[in-house]
């Protein structure tokens, strides 16, 4: 049994409101012939505020790709540890209990991955597996959960840690003035999120099945153009229509487990924008309220890329209305066009103890190498 435990999430201290975003767009792009359209699209996102790692005046500067990437690394090392400790505490685990770290980010580049730094500085074992993900964009939140589920299924006593570090503001490109770019300037925010997947014990979402699905011939709908100035976000106008081909994949996943996708108790999906949620409500035949966790993330933080799904899970924990046996869907959407989706049931602590005792945290000396793990 792989259980997705209670996440920890942190957002930076610098805030930009929707009103400030619109005012900036009016002043910076006053002569843009499609400014009214861009303003209307930004207003329609429903984003009230976003958190960013630098003050607005620094965010609007472009000192070059090198300096921006140095900022990414510095801020990641400063902000990730506290969030990781929070996620481990929530799961009743220590660093030494983690067998796999899945690190997801599409807003900065490090090699070796931040996972190497974490292992060297945060008490993780030297044989901890590393799985960095950089190119699945917003879908990586769902993909990270699925790969952690796969790992814990292959090695039932193992534990995985997922870390999402997304500083979308560091990808701002002042020279990109297409409507899609202007929209993204008012949509994306920054966040760090972490969550543990326990192979045994724990309270949370018991993961039971997962699936990947790619919509053919859509790889240029969401993309990065990597140039001398860094990552340039490309967003096709057809992206808002992607739920029509993706919703059937979610239905198929549920049917494969004998579930009806329109009759689940909770829905945790990537909120790329309000139309994504509205269309899913229509195609899955569920009430808009079913997506309240994802919509709250979008409203309060904006689109925080791979961290959206993890933050929506956090909000479900905080609401406290899930009961033993509740069934639900988790899904992340991103470049490809790709959907990474999973099914799970809510497992309470008492119910979990009725089936399996929560193991004591293992010391590094007590860890026995997993059979066949060297083939991963």
Q: Per residue in 101-148, pLDDT tens? A: 999 999 999 999 999 999 999 999 999 999 999 988 899 999 999 999
Which residues are identified as catalytic? Answer: 138
More confident position, 257 or 235: 257
Q: Does the domain at residues 204-351 carry the CATH identifier 3.40.47.10? A: yes
Residue 375 pLDDT greater than 70, yes or no: no
Q: What is the mean pLDDT of residues 278-307?
A: 95
Give the pLDDT confidence score for residue 69 in this predicted structure.
Answer: 95
Give the pLDDT confidence score for residue 242 in this predicted structure.
Answer: 87
Report the topology of domain 2-198. Answer: Peroxisomal Thiolase; Chain A, domain 1 (3.40.47)
Q: How far apart are CA 143 and CA 148, in angstroms?
A: 8
Residue 367 pLDDT greater than 90, yes or no: no
Report the percentage of the chain scoring pLDDT > 70: 93
Give the pLDDT confidence score for residue 360 in this predicted structure.
Answer: 36
Q: Which residues contact 210 (CB under 8 A, 6 or more apart)?
A: 145, 146, 149, 150, 253, 340, 341, 342, 343
Highest mean pLDDT among 172-181, 325-334, 365-374: 325-334
Give the pLDDT confidence score for residue 368 in this predicted structure.
Answer: 32
Q: What is the mean pLDDT of residues 213-242?
A: 86
Q: What is the mean pLDDT of residues 22-51?
A: 93
Q: How far apart are CA 310 and CA 292, in angstroms?
A: 14
pTM for the complete prediction? Answer: 0.90
- Mean residue pLDDT of the chain comes to 90
Chain region(s) in the chain for CATH 3.40.47.10:
2-198, 204-351
**Residue 212's pLDDT band (cuts 50, 70, 90):** very high
Give the torsion through C-alpha atoms of 50, 51, 52, 56, to 10 deg.
60
Which residue carries 């690190």 as its tokens? 103
Give the pLDDT confidence score for residue 23 in this predicted structure.
Answer: 95
Q: What is the mean pLDDT of residues 83-100?
A: 98
End-to-end CA distance of the chain: 20
**349 class by beta-carbon count within 10 Å (0-12 exposed, 13-18 middle, 19+ buried):** middle
Residue 224 pLDDT greater than 70, yes or no: yes
Task: Summarize pLDDT for 51-81 with one digit per residue, the tens.
Answer: 999 999 999 999 999 999 999 999 999 999 9
Give the pLDDT confidence score for residue 371 in this predicted structure.
Answer: 34
Residue 213 pLDDT greater than 90, yes or no: yes
Give the pLDDT confidence score for residue 353 in this predicted structure.
Answer: 41
Nearest to 241 by CA among 195, 191, 275, 197: 275
Give the pLDDT confidence score for residue 180 in this predicted structure.
Answer: 85
Q: What is the mean pLDDT of residues 258-268?
A: 96
Please state, as a whole number, how many other Cβ atoms lie within 10 Å of the Cβ of residue 15: 14
Give the pLDDT confidence score for residue 350 in this predicted structure.
Answer: 57
Q: What is the mean pLDDT of residues 293-318?
A: 96
**Residue 241's pLDDT band (cuts 50, 70, 90):** confident
Q: How far apart are CA 326 and CA 373, in angstroms?
A: 33
Three-state SS string over the chain comes to CEEECCCEEECCCEEEEHHHHHHHHHHHCCCCCCHHHHHHHHHHCCCCEEEECCCHHHHCCCCCHHHHHHHHHHHHHHHHHHHHHHHHHHHCCCHHHCCEEEEECCCCCCCCCHHHHHHHHCCCCCCCEEEEECCCHHHHHHHHHHHHHHHHHHCCCCEEEEEEEEEHHHHCCCCCCCHHHHHHHCCECEEEEEEEEECCCCCEEEEEEEEEEEEEEECCCEEEEEECCEEEEEECCCHHHCHHHHHHHHHHHHHHCCCCCCCCCEEEECCCCHHHHHHHHHHCCCCHHHHHHHHHHHHHHCECCCHHHHHHHHHHHHHCCCCCCCEEEEEEEECEEEEEEEEEEEECHHHHHHHCCCCCCCCHHHCCCCCCHHHC
């Amino acid at each position: 049994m792989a259980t997705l435990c209670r996440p920890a999430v942190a957002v930076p201290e610098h805030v930009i409101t929707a009103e400030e975003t619109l005012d900036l767009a009016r002043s910076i792009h006053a002569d843009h012939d499609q400014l009214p359209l861009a303003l209307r699209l930004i207003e329609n996102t429903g984003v009230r505020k976003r958190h960013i790692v630098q003050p607005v005046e620094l965010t609007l500067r472009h000192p070059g790709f090198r300096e921006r990437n140095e900022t990414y690394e510095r801020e990641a090392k400063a902000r990730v540890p506290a969030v990781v400790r929070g996620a481990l505490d929530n799961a009743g685990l220590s660093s030494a209990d983690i067998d796999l770290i899945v690190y997801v980010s599409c807003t900065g580049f490090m090699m070796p991955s931040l996972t190497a730094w974490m292992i060297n500085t945060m008490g993780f074992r030297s044989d901890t597996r590393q799985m960095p993900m950089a190119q699945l964009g917003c879908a990586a939140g769902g993909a990270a959960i699925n790969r952690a589920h796969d790992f814990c299924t292959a090695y039932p006593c193992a534990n995985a840690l997922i870390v999402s570090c997304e500083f979308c503001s560091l990808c701002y490109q002042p020279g990109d003035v297409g409507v899609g770019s202007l929209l993204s300037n008012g949509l994306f925010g920054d966040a760090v999120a972490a969550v543990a997947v326990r192979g045994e014990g724990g309270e949370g979402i018991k993961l039971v099945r997962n699936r990947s699905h790619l919509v053919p011939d859509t790889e240029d709908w969401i993309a990065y153009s990597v140039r001398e100035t860094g990552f340039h976000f490309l967003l096709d106008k057809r992206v808002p229509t992607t739920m029509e081909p993706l919703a059937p994949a979610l239905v198929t996943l549920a049917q494969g487990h004998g579930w009806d996708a329109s009759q689940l108790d909770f829905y945790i999906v990537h909120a790329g924008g309000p139309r994504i949620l509205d269309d899913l409500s229509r195609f899955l035949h569920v009430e808009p309220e079913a997506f309240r966790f994802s919509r709250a993330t979008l409203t309060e933080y904006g689109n925080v890329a791979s961290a959206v799904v993890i933050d929506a899970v956090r909000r479900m924990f905080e609401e406290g209305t899930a009961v033993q046996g509740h069934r639900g869907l988790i899904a992340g959407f991103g470049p490809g066009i790709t959907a990474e989706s999973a099914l799970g049931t809510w497992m309470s602590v008492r119910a979990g103890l009725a089936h399996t005792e929560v193991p004591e945290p293992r010391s590094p000396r007590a860890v026995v190498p997993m059979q066949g793990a060297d083939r991963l």
